[in-house]
Homo-oligomer: A and B are copies of this chain.
Amino acid sequence: MTTLDQYLKSFEKFMGEHPFQGTPASLYESANYLMQLGGKRLRPAMVLMGCDAFKNSYETALPAAMAIEVFHNFTLVHDDIMDAAPLRRGKPTVHIKYNEPSAILCGDMMMFKSVMFLQMLPEKHLQEVLTVFNKTAIEVCEGQQLDMLFETRNDVSIDEYLHMIALKTSVLLGCSLKIGALVGGASNAEAERLYEFGKNLGIAFQLHDDILDAFAEDAEAFGKQVGGDILSNKKTYLLITAMKQANENQQTEITHWISQKNFDNDKKVNAMKSLFEATGARAAAEEEQQRYYTKALASLSETSLPDDTKKVFESFADMVMKRTK
């Protein structure tokens, strides 16, 4: 199999050869702006990896990798409007740099472009790939709706939270591998095992993100404000668990920090971090993360892929889990 670096290089080349363009230019400029902000490009790499595992050549899947990355960026631009987020990857979000109507339309255009990229795949794969893609896209919408509904609820359970992040984040990672595998000629059953690997890895990945958001040691490498979730009272795995496991004093302290309108940012972040430790929320999150990581590896081991291919997927999973940003 090819290396991750090679996938990313090929993907960046394909992306460079397929910029958004048309008239009026302003419709396409905003999409190019967003795509060029970068990101880890994990999803397109997973599409190519999924294909490579079965076909020992991944180029056929490049349009699918592009479709997934465009879809992912479409969700970012619309989510950023919904969340009123000013920054994305340290730069102004599309609705801030341009305006909100343009950002809505930019996302809409990108959605259709992502389907158009899927149409560039060999026709025999179109129906099955579209089925996975549309199912996933609908789930991502459901995940975002749940995330918004949770904002106004104080009784979100851990199971509900895990279900939400599975839909909002993880199914797209599973989908990336599955689509790649299908294009690579995998049977549906094999592709489904890789889907499960990707989905569970995605949940572990999101839990890792929750933990990093509070505990990242290298703020610069992390790329966004450490403690951002704490400051906005976001109901992450850490906060939900802390609230559930807190003793009476800790409960009072958590309630104090959550309801406080004016506070010193550093003080709140440090206090909540201590509470996440003291209530065992951090340890619980790390255990949960490990549990999903193990589940992911179990799905991988069920595939009939040769051992050296499995090792490539394991290293990828390991890298995702060890990331510090």
Contacts and interface: CB of A to CB of B under 8 A. Distances in A.
Interface of A: 22-24, 26-27, 78, 81-82, 100-102, 104-105, 107-109, 111-113, 115-116, 119, 123, 126-127, 130-131, 134, 137-138, 141-142, 144-146, 148-149
A108 B109 CA distance: 11
A166 to B, nearest CB: 13
Given A102-B148, A148-B102, A142 B108 contact: no
B142 A23 contact: yes
B148 A131 contact: no
A236 to B, nearest CB: 19
Residue of A108, A126, A142 with most chain B CB atoms under a 10 A cut-off: A108
Contact of A119 (B82, B104, B130): B130
Secondary structure dominating the interface of A: helix
B26 A101 contact: no
Given A24-B145, A148-B101, A109 B130 contact: no
5 contacts: A22-B138, A26-B145, A27-B142, A109-B141, A112-B134
Contact of A134 (B100, B119, B131, B144): B119
Contacts of A101: 81-82, 148
Contacts of A141: 27, 105, 108-109, 112
A111 B141 CA distance: 11
Nearest to A130: B119
Given A113-B138, A116-B138, 20 more contacts: A22-B138, A23-B142, A24-B142, A26-B149, A78-B105, A78-B108, A81-B104, A102-B145, A105-B145, A108-B111, A109-B138, A111-B112, A112-B134, A112-B137, A112-B138, A112-B141, A115-B115, A115-B130, A115-B134, A119-B127
A239 B131 CA distance: 47
A181 to B, nearest CB: 20
A168 to B, nearest CB: 12
A104 B102 contact: no
A183 B35 CA distance: 36
A118 to B, nearest CB: 9
Interface centre among A127, A137, A146 (most CB of B within 10 A): A137
B131 A119 contact: yes
A254 to B, nearest CB: 27
A82 B108 CA distance: 12
